[in-house]
Amino acid sequence: MGQSMSSGAAASRLNGKLFQWQIQDGSQWLDVAHDDIIEAQYTLPMVEGIRLHTARHGTIYLDFDKMEIVGSNLKLKRLTFPPTQEMDEYSWYFLDDHSWREYGVQGTGSKTTLITSPDIEFQFRTAPQNVFNFNIGSSKYTIDFQAMVQTNVQTGMKRKVRRRSRFTSENQNPNSISGAVGNQTVSNPVTPCTWQFKGDRGCWMDYRRLGEGGTVCSINSQDIEQSYQQNPQGSLQFTAGHFQYRLDLSAMTQINLVTHTRRAVRRLQTPSLQGAHGSTGGNGLWQFLDEEGLWQEYSQPGILKSVSSQDIETIYQMNPQGSMRFSAGWFSYSLDFSAMTQTNLTTRKVRQVRRL
């Protein structure tokens, strides 16, 4: 992609904005107004793209992996205006079974790769056409930057790789996401959220601090939500009683660092979210109908873990009549909000979807 800057992009830079999405209309690059929506979704490694409604070109689909507008002669690019020359503007992820994991971030089984996002980003900027070789213990791996695939040299195991930006906006309220859908400006405030863990009897229990009642620990939902907004792929540690725990925001699990007991964690929004078309009702809990006729929540352990109810709800609030794509394992899926169906784009298997 070229890095030529339009007068609008130059203005964005002068105003302290760190990014600008543009679409080429003929020979002219035009700024996408209120592109915080696009940027916020681009930071999520499980989101393959976003569908937007425009006044001039109708509905268009932005493919983040290919950085193109599918089925159109229009071109897409993302300009950046970093305040420094640091190499950690982007995060690098690999698909670990059903979850996207950032390189260098502690994941399942307390394993941490020695290769970090800045390491890979440096190699990518130095030689984006090459293959990057690295070792983890006695295992040798390669990352093919053009194919965006990681390969275990000994076993031949291949995993998808993605490069995504770290979302920052100097001109944006940290508790809101604004964007343009068609010729409408959408405001999608981040509503208060309740964080819960699954107790011994299968009951969901709120995280509460001393004086708030219930199970007492060193953090509450507000603390967790603040960390989640800063980095949805990160983690945080806390204490409860005599034990220490780690909450993995990407895997949505809580781990006792002494006994290694693992519990499921979930994030619930308050009812009656306000979307682009007014109140949509419901809690924003998304489920699909499995093979046995049971409703399964997205991101539940063992289910499609590359996308969560919150991820789906965020895009749904932008356009309740639109659709989104996501990946799980080696498959890609399309979720149609209007038809309330999920389609496997390889097998064409269609499942019912519902929002509670």
Lowest-pLDDT range, 162-176, 216-230, 295-309? 162-176
- Provide the terminal-to-terminal Cα distance of the chain, rounded to the nearest Å: 41
Interval 335-354: pLDDT, tens: 988 888 999 888 888 988 98
The DSSP letter of residue 277 is: T
Lowest-pLDDT range, 150-154, 235-239, 319-323? 319-323
Q: For residue 194, what is the enclosing H or E element?
A: strand 193-198
Q: Report in angstroms the alpha-carbon separations of 89 from 15, 27, 86.
A: 19, 29, 7
pLDDT at 123: 92
Alpha-carbon torsion 64, 66, 72, 78, what sign?
positive
Structure tokens at 17: 């904005």
Of the two residues 30 and 321, the one the predictor is more confident about is 30
Q: How confident is the model at residue 159 (pLDDT cuts 50, 70, 90)?
A: very high
d(CA 135, CA 307): 29
d(CA 40, CA 43): 6
Do residues 228 and 249 lie in contact, with contact meaning Cβ atoms separated by under 8 Å?
yes
Tell me the pTM: 0.49
Interval 10-25: pLDDT, tens: 555 545 677 889 998 7
Ordered domains of the chain (ranges, CATH)? 7-84+168-189 (no CATH), 90-165 (3.30.720.50), 193-267 (3.30.720.50), 274-355 (3.30.720.50)
The answer to whether residue 62 scores a pLDDT higher than 60 is: yes
Do residues 237 and 248 lie in contact, with contact meaning Cβ atoms separated by under 8 Å?
no
Residue 277 CB partners (closer than 8 Å, separation 6+): 320, 321
Backbone angles phi, psi at 213, to 5 degrees: 80, 170
pLDDT at 27: 80
d(CA 45, CA 305): 12
Q: Would you call 302 helix, strand, or coil by DSSP?
A: coil
d(CA 265, CA 277): 30
- What single-letter amino acid sits at 212? E
pLDDT at 174: 33
Q: What is the mean pLDDT of residues 130-147?
A: 92
d(CA 197, CA 113): 27
